[in-house]
Structure 1
Amino acid sequence: MQVSIESVEGLQRRMTVSLPAENLNNQVTQRIKDTAKRVRIDGFRPGKVPVSVVKQRYGQGIKSEVMQETIQRSLGDALAQEKVNPAGMPQIDSVKEENDTIEFTAVYEIFPEIKLASFDGYEFDQQKLVITDEDVDTMLESLQKQKATYEKAERAAKLTDQVTINFVGKIDGEAFENGSGNDSKLVLGSGQMIPGFEDGIIGMSAGEERTIDVTFPADYQSEELKGKAAQFDIIVTDVAEQKLPELDKAFFKDFGAKSIKLNTFKEEVKTNMKREAAGSIKTKLKNAVIAKLMADNSVDAPSALTQDEIGRLKQEAVQQFGQGTKIDPSMLPDDMFKEQASNRVQIGLLMNEVIKVNKLEATDEAVKAYLTEMAAVYEDPASVVDFYYNNPQQLNQVKALLLEEAAIKVVTDASKLNNVDVTYFEAIAK
């Protein structure tokens, strides 16, 4: 077997493999003989079909089958011989036979060579959580609002009230699509509507009509409405006052608390707040490190890996619509996901380089410690840990996560970290 490799463009390479045709011809002959022993053809007894008849009827198909198997096997051998680790599956470009030789070419991409920039001078903010009693009380009020009820109020609407409204949105005097609603319930101050909409309803009473002027945000999801000035004709049909539940046994039980005492419940809430904030703080530092690495290291993303990532992003997008959604991921345009996919691939390549250079490993001890801590919030931690150990794919995801965390730590250990005290709500802010 003779192998040659040439650069095509960027990360793309073309491999040409030449093989003697004799071996393939011998395999074809043998497979035709084997087929003659078991094939059934009218006019011949089983096992007595002449080889010439089988060759005439099935020879071309058998040869194509053997050719495909030979090419795939030889491609694997050639990649191993040349110590090539392609980025994505190589594609067979051409196949030809001449002068007792089979020659085929395969096109593939290689992984980019990455030389990490020095971490010297790197500097990041390291948030330090400070939870006050006021933070906990604010969280308790937020939990109460989740269970709030509303009672009819014979007065003008104010913040936290729930109003029932009919409205029609207009731009330049013309109603626009999806800009109207009837019997819509809205909690004032919830931020559910665009800026200015909820404020415009404050002070209105049941039966009152009002036209308010608002402007759609520049980053609004609808291209047709971005930055547009609009008017909404609003009729309030009902005003209801918010009633918060008591902090009692029933309330604590609704949130799965282990205790029925207020002070103990507060401690449980505080513990959960610390856990949530810690995760958010870790994510922010990780994102800052990744952004710095991306800025300081230029990495070409192999198109094959980017295409694979586009496929995963399409699947994720469909899953976000929920079960029962009849959307074929392949119908979504690639351009919607291309930039995000390319970024993901580049980040993955950079993380892998940090891991490789620093010879990082996800040890059994680290995996066990992570799973033990993660499972502690569940009712049956042992079963959760067992689930991961009995599912190799899930376990590999944990190992990948630990390797990524280790890579981030390598960077932060070499960097200057500026401690910044933050409240819980600052910590979880995007």
Structure 2
Amino acid sequence: MQVIETLAEGLKRELKIIVPAADLEARANERLAEVKDKVRINGFRPGKVPTAHVKKMYGKSIMAEIVNEIVRDRPATILSERGEKSATQPEIAMTEDEAEADKILSGGADLEFTVAYEIIPAIELKPVDGIKVTREVVDISEEEVNEQVLKIAENARSYEKKEGAAENGDRVTMDYLGKVDGVAFDGGKDEDAELVLGSGRFIPGFEEQLVGLKAGDEKVITVTFPEEYPAKNLAGKEATFDITVKEVAAPAAVEINDELAQKLGLESADKLKEIVRGQIESQYGNVTRQKVKRQILDQLDEMYKFEAPSKLVDAEFENIWRQINTDLAQSGKTFEDEDTTEEEARTEYRTLAERRVRLGLVLSEIGEKAGIDVTEEEMQRALYAQLQQFPGQEREIINFFRNTPGASASLRAPIFEEKVMDKLISEINVTDKTVSKEELLADDEDGDDKPVKKSAKKKAKAEEASTEGEEAAPKKKAAPKKKAAAEGDAE
């Protein structure tokens, strides 16, 4: 076998691989000898079929198998021997001329094919002890815990049936039917729907027209759907709703006590407060970690400047660009509305894609050199978390990760990245700084995906790329919205 390098420009490589016909013939003869003893052909005893006859019947199919094996397996071996890693799956090209292909399969010509790929650049790791970050932490007050517990208590409060007119704060049970231009629309009907007046759950103007109604009352109300309403067929439209009030109930007093906790499945009010405090700590902790991570990535970005494989950058850019255009379409906005142009946005997001790919390669190298790995148990936990996000689609999700090449990387990558971050945080200079929750949660424009302008960020302010290529996970099916005043949701 002969390997000839025909291209070596930057990270791009192209190899021409030649397998002599004699080598193919030798492998085919070995395979034919194996087949000869197993094949069953009428008129011949087992193992006594002449080799020439076996070759005549199965020669081309056996040669095709050998060619496929060589084309499939040899490139990886060759790259390993060259000490190279391909950034993406190498592109294989071979003759498409039927006459030439037939000649190869007949053993009359050498097999020639090319392998084109981009290498992952060699990364020389630098000391990280010069990285300095500020870790913002929040002291959680008893007042904040009590505020959250009060909200939980309000959501769990009971209601007592009352006589008389409904007031703000009362819960109304009703049937309704929504119409546009006198025609009922899908999702605009519900029975025994419950609505707490003043909650703001339904579209503007709906709840206010229920104030003053009492059980047994019927009323037709008129509202206008917001211009930005998700259902495009209803956005900006005037609609009427036929309302029948079935019950009015007044809210009971809110009390934070052991009885409330037990209603929520906990043993005591103290346990409820403990859990709420833990949830708040977790929420703030996630924000703190993301800010620390952002600082680390920004400094790594300054430390490592090298050419990123263009195909990886192209793929990352396409992911970002697809999300950006989806978001703009859903919001009904344009690039001009975001104070930019499509050309400027493309340039900015291309820069972001390059940064993500470069940092992903750096983190991957750091993790590999440190011997960081993702355990099977961690992968199973990640898969279980995915299943919890898509109730009712468990089998579909499992089959997706089982049958989609590379899909498991979307589970592995974030775990691996967080473990690399843990290692970096243990080695760099971290200074804790106590801040208010307002400071912690404030947008950190300077820390965003540089150099993307705020006007063009929106959802592409997504997290940095993971260290592995990802396959898109199966999309979550649209959950049925709470039935309310329009298409299942007038909220």
SS in 1 for 2:71: helix
Instruction: Give the counterpart of 2:273 among 266, 279, 287.
Output: 266
Structure 2 residue aligned with 1:241: 250
1:402 aligned to which of 408, 419, 428: 419
Match of 1:76 in 2: 76
- CA displacement at 1:51 relative to structure 2: 0.8
Deviation at 1:421, TM superposition (A): 0.8
1:275 corresponding residue in structure 2: 282
8 A contact 2:219–2:242 mirrored in 1: yes
The amino acid across from 1:80 in the alignment is S
Q: Do the aligned residues in 2 keep the contact of 1:11 with 1:109 (CA within 8 Å)?
A: yes
* Deviation of 1:27 (Å): 0.6
State the Cα distance separating 1:350 from its structure 2 match.
2.0
8 Å contact from structure 1 (residues 309, 345) kept in 2: no
For the structure 1 residues 355 and 51, does the alpha-carbon distance in structure 2 shift closer, same or farther, using more than 3 Å as the test?
closer
Q: 1:85 to 1:288 in 2, by over 3 A?
A: same
Q: Give the match for residue 302 of structure 1.
A: 312
C-alpha displacement of 1:31: 0.9
Match of 2:389 in 1: none
Residue in 1 aligned with 2:221?
A: 211
Q: What is residue 478 of structure 2 aligned with on the other side?
A: none
Distance 1:19 1:282, change over 3 A: same
After superposition, residues 122-141 of structure 1 pair within 5 angstroms as 127-141=136-150
1:91 to 1:65, Cα distance in 2 relative to 1, 3 A: same
How far apart are 1:4 and its partner, in Å? 2.2
**Cα deviations by residue, 1:91-143 (Å, 9 ceiling, x for unpaired):** 42214649852211234454589999xxxxx9999654243333222222233
Q: CA RMSD in A?
A: 5.1
Q: Secondary structure of the residue that 2:37 maps to in structure 1?
A: helix
Contact 2:178 2:188 in 1 (8 A): yes
Q: Matched residues in 1 for 2:317 and 2:63: separation?
A: 33
* Structure 1 residues 306 and 32: CA distance shift in structure 2, 3 A: farther
Q: Aligned match of 2:166 in 140, 148, 157? A: 157
Q: In the alignment, what sits opposite 2:37?
A: 37
Deviation, 1:64, is 0.6
Are residues 1:15 and 2:7 paired? no
Cα deviation, residue 67, structure 1: 1.3
The SS at the match of 2:192 is strand
Could you list the per-position Cα deviations for residues 233-271 of structure 1 after superposition, in whole angstroms to 9, with x for gaps in the alignment? Answer: 2514132223367544454345454x53x4464344323
Paired letter, 1:136: V
Residues 225, 4 of structure 1: alpha-carbon distance in 2 compared, 3 angstrom cutoff: farther
2:3 corresponds to: 2
Residue of structure 2 in register with 1:324 after alignment: none
> What is the TM-score of this pair, normalised by structure 1?
0.65
- Cα 1:51/1:92, change in 2 over 3 Å: same
- Alignment of structure 1 residues 276-425 onto 2, 5 Å: 276-283=283-290, 286=293, 300=310, 302=312, 347=356, 349-353=358-362, 356=365, 361=370, 398-404=415-421, 420-422=435-437
The one-letter amino acid paired with 1:4 is E
1:53 is matched with which residue? 53
Matched, 1:198 2:207: yes
Which stretch has the larger CA shift, 69-78 or 203-212?
203-212
- Equivalent AA in structure 1 for residue 283 of structure 2: E
Look up the equivalent residue of 2:7 and give its one-letter code.
E
Contact 1:93 1:104 in 2 (8 A): yes
AA in 2 matched with 1:269: V
Amino acid at match of 2:419: L
How far 1:63 moved relative to its partner?
A: 0.7
1:313-372 CA distance string (max 9 Å, x none) = 9xxxxxxxxxxxxxxxxxxxxxxxxxx9x98896354233256479974769x99xx9xx
User: Are residues 85 and 224 of structure 1, via their aligned partners in 2, closer, same or farther at CA, if it must alter by over 3 Å?
Assistant: farther
Distance 2:57 2:68 in 1: 19
Q: Amino acid of the residue matched to residue 162 of structure 1?
A: R
Are residues 294 and 31 of structure 1, via their aligned partners in 2, closer, same or farther at CA, if it must alter by over 3 Å?
same
CA distance in 2, matches of 1:210, 1:284: 51
Partners of 1:106 and 1:253 lie apart in 2 by 66
**Residue pairs, 1:165-204, within 5 angstroms:** 165-171=174-180, 175-204=184-213
Residue in structure 1 matched with residue 473 of structure 2 by the alignment: none
The structure richer in strand per residue is: 1
One-letter code of the match for 2:152?
L
The separation in 2 between residues aligned to 1:407 and 1:225, in whole angstroms, is 51
How many angstroms does 1:160 deviate by?
A: 3.8
Q: Which stretch of the first structure deviates more once superposed, 94-103 or 22-31?
A: 94-103
Aligned residue among 215, 219, 239 for 1:231? 239
- 2:219 maps to a residue whose letter is E
Superposed displacement of residue 73, structure 1 = 3.1
- Asked if the contact 2:149/2:272 (under 8 Å) is kept, the reply is no
Residue range with higher mean Cα deviation, 125-134 or 143-152: 125-134
Deviation at 1:59, TM superposition (A): 1.0
Residues 189-226 of structure 1 show CA distances to partners (whole Å, capped at 9, x for unaligned) of 444333443344344433142524334252x4333344
Hey, what does 2:482 align to over in structure 1? none
Maintained 8 Å contact 1:197/1:214 = no
Q: Matches of 1:209 and 1:135 in 2, distance apart?
A: 42
Please list every run of 5 or more consecutive structure 1 residues that lacks an aligned counterpart in the other structure: 117-121, 314-339, 371-391
When the two structures are superposed, what TM-score results if normalisation uses the length of structure 2? 0.58
For 2:207 and 2:122, locate their aligned partners in 1 and report how far apart those are by CA, in whole Å: 54
- Per-residue deviation, 1:25: 0.9
| 1:28–1:355 CA distance, 2 compared to 1 (3 A) | closer
Contact residue 372 and residue 420 of structure 2 kept, 8 A: no
Structure 1, residues 357-394: CA drift from partner, whole Å, max 9, x if none?
79974769x99xx9xxxxxxxxxxxxxxxxxxxxx998
For the residues of structure 2 that align with 1:86 and 1:266, how far apart are their CA atoms?
A: 53
User: What is the identity percentage for the equivalent residue pairs of Structure 1 and Structure 2?
Assistant: 25
Q: 1:145 to 1:167 in 2, by over 3 A?
A: same
Residue equivalent to 2:153: 144
Does the 8 Å contact 1:362/1:399 carry over to 2?
A: no
**Other-structure match for 1:104:** 113
Please state how far the C-alpha of 1:38 moved relative to its aligned partner. Answer: 1.5
Q: Where in structure 2 are there 5+ consecutive unaligned residues?
A: 96-100, 126-130, 324-348, 379-407, 443-458, 460-491
